[in-house]
A and B are shown apart, each in its own frame.
Chain A
């Protein structure tokens, strides 16, 4: 158990819908990262937050947005869903945000299926 929690574990929805994925980082970790992993693909970095502020942005679509709240939990919002958005979405947390060499601890992931 990494100490990172994600809800829900599974999500099935239809095209055009909007969903929210939630992540609670390990106690004390200030950085939260979001990743997308499609079937048999590598991890695609989406976005990083550090202590409530956006720190780095990867290949995140405009239909996707995220935020980190004062209690450090984070939410990833996916809208106008398409079939291709079906994937495992991982959240990870690390202790700091100013250095990139902090080990990231991954949550169990949310499996999103868009029908």
Chain B
């Protein structure tokens, strides 16, 4: 079957760095997405990886290893507003998005 695993919840300190991992098993692969979702709001796009390696975008970076079925989202210089759920999603060969359950990130002062 198809599956995406992420930690359910993580806690980090303001100003620190946190890494959110995502592992996946899907039928085919057409890219991996990271989205941010604040409680009760719509998800917003953060990053997209289709090739192995690191993509950096400001305070956020995303890494992909297709051979390992693994990705991580790295958030630096954490701010209180980064408290949200982070969703990992994979596009499979059937034109479907497979979504992880999301990682709830709690930032403490």
B99 touches A42 (CB 8 A): yes
What bracket does the count of chain A residues touching chain B fall in?
A: 20 to 34
- Judge if A43 is at the interface, Cβ distance under 8 Å: yes
Complex Cα–Cα for A100 and B92 (A): 7
In angstroms, how far is the closest chain A Cβ from the Cβ of B49?
Answer: 10
Q: Which secondary structure dominates where chain B touches chain A?
A: loop
- Judge if A25 is at the interface, Cβ distance under 8 Å: no
- Given known contacts A42-B100, A42-B101, A103-B48, is B43 in contact with A56 (CB within 8 Å)? no
A43 touches B95 (CB 8 A): no
- Judge if B87 is at the interface, Cβ distance under 8 Å: yes
**Residue in A closest to B40 when the chains form the complex, CB atoms:** A88
Number of interface residues of B (CB under 8 A): 24
Complex Cα–Cα for A46 and B100 (A): 15
In angstroms, how far is the closest chain A Cβ from the Cβ of B2?
Answer: 11
A100 touches B97 (CB 8 A): yes
A99 touches B30 (CB 8 A): yes
Interface string of A36-71 (1 = CB under 8 A from B): 000001111100100000011010000000000000
**Residue in A closest to B46 when the chains form the complex, CB atoms:** A103
- Given known contacts A100-B30, A101-B31, is B45 in contact with A45 (CB within 8 Å)? no
A97 touches B48 (CB 8 A): no
Complex Cα–Cα for A73 and B100 (A): 27
B31 touches A43 (CB 8 A): no
List, in ascending order, chain A residues with CB within 8 A of B95's CB.
Answer: 48, 55-56, 97-98, 100
Residues of A bordering B, CB below 8 Å: 2, 33, 41-45, 48, 55-56, 58, 88, 90, 97-101, 103-109
Residues of B bordering A, CB below 8 Å: 30-31, 33, 40-45, 48, 50, 87, 89, 91-92, 94-102
